[in-house]
Amino acid sequence: MAKDAAGPEAYGTVDEAVAALALARAFADGAVADAILRVQRELFVVAAELATTPERRDDLEPGISRPDADMVAALEARIDELVERHGAPREFVVPGGSPVGAALDLARTIVRRAERRAVAYQRETEIDGSFVVPYLNRLADYLFMLARSTELEWTPTRQEEE
């Protein structure tokens, strides 16, 4: 398969998202770092499906090497938890309120690109029943809310204030 084919474009963009999340995790600590690591591991599952040829897709295991409905539902629950704790933003948010938030916003935009690439790949291969696109869609929303959450809880150090 050519490096610029729809499949490699999609899973390559997922790989970029994993790397951007690594930057966010490097700035994070505690529960936020754990949440980011969980997402990075879930993206390996997404990439596994995208990197598998359609003929071999039946060999993949839901939740292990292929995203499933439970993974999407778990993201929905995490989004709901953050909205319940902090509320949904009521106005446009300019990214960059904290280092972790900025890195999460970068990762979010890469996930949105991965979603667009996955849509193109699924259209090209006519794959049915995949949870890749729904997972990536909900993940971008989760990263948005996680970024907002970290910014609400962020306290700059004296050096950062100067």
Residue ranges and CATH numbers for the domains of the chain are 6-153 (1.20.1200.10)
CB neighbour class for 85 (10 Å; exposed up to 12, middle 13-18, buried from 19): exposed
For the entire predicted model, the pTM comes to 0.91
Sign of CA dihedral 114, 118, 74, 80: positive
Per-residue pLDDT, 156: 60
Per-residue pLDDT, 160: 47
- Over range 133-145, report the average pLDDT: 97
Per-residue pLDDT, 154: 67
Amino acid at 141: D
- Over range 133-155, report the average pLDDT: 91
pLDDT in tens, 100-123: 999 999 999 999 999 999 999 999
* CA–CA distance, 32 with 140 (Å, rounded to integer): 16
- Phi, psi dihedral angles at 97 (to 5 degrees): -70, -20
pLDDT in tens, 7-16: 899 999 999 9
Higher pLDDT, 151 or 19: 19
Per-residue pLDDT, 90: 81
What is the average pLDDT value for the chain, to the nearest integer? 91
The answer to whether the beta carbons of residues 74 and 137 sit under 8 Å apart is no
Per-residue pLDDT, 162: 44
Higher pLDDT, 61 or 156: 61
The answer to whether the beta carbons of residues 76 and 84 sit under 8 Å apart is no
* CA–CA distance, 40 with 119 (Å, rounded to integer): 20
Q: Is the pLDDT of residue 152 over 50?
A: yes
